[in-house]
Amino acid sequence: MSYDDHYHLADGVIDHLDTVMAGISDPFIQSRYVGFVAVTAVTVYELAIKDIFCDFGEKTHRVLGLFTRSYFDRINGKIKIANIKEDYLKKFGDNYVAEFKAKLDVVEKQWLVTQKTSVSSSYNNIIEWRNEFAHGGKVPIYVTYSDVTKSYQLGKEVIKSLAEVMGV
């Protein structure tokens, strides 16, 4: 399975919610959907990141593939950009860290110039919102449904950059 096949899980939920959110005027209910999308998005990110590293491991060597499957079984929400660089990529060598940083810098600059939006901030924000919802039952009051869905889509750029660096 390709890493981006996991996106269908969240994309389907968002497609459905896009049709109903306009009819919901209760801010509390809206915040529940924002939290639900954040949890769904980060779950999909975790699955994609796990598959990227496991596919890389299996492609490199059978034993490395077995190790990465075991190691990434415990990824559990630790997928911020800093975690990807320091906790995961660094184990494969500093070259992967440098290449990921360079690739992400290019993507970041493109989005800042064309859309005035930070891919990295969007990606890390949705993880924060997910954590606040999953562990505290709330999302920040300033976060809208539009914010969370936009951040989810932009976060895919981080995952795509990782996949390209790992050659999967």
> In the chain, what are the domain boundaries?
3-166
Cβ atoms of 124 and 80 within 8 Å: the answer is yes
138 and 31 Cβ atoms separated by less than 8 Å: yes
pLDDT of 71 over the 80 cut: yes
Mean pLDDT of the chain: 95
Write the DSSP assignment of 23-60 as a string of letters.
G---HHHHHHHHHHHHHHHHHHHHHHHHHHHHHHHHHH
pTM of the model: 0.94
Whether the per-residue pLDDT at 121 is higher than 80: the answer is: yes
For the chain, what percent of residues have pLDDT higher than 70?
Answer: 100
Residue pLDDT, tens place only, 28-68: 999 999 999 999 999 999 999 999 999 999 999 999 989 99
75 falls in which pLDDT band (50, 70, 90)? confident
What does the alpha-carbon distance between residue 48 and residue 144 come to, in Å, rounded to a whole number?
Answer: 25
Arithmetic mean of pLDDT, 90-107: 97
Q: Where are the alpha helices (DSSP H) in 61-93?
A: 62-71, 81-83, 90-92
Angle, helices 119-136/27-60, rounded to nearest 10 degrees: 110
Tokens of residue 159, six digits: 């995952």
pLDDT classification of 73: cutoffs 50, 70, 90: confident
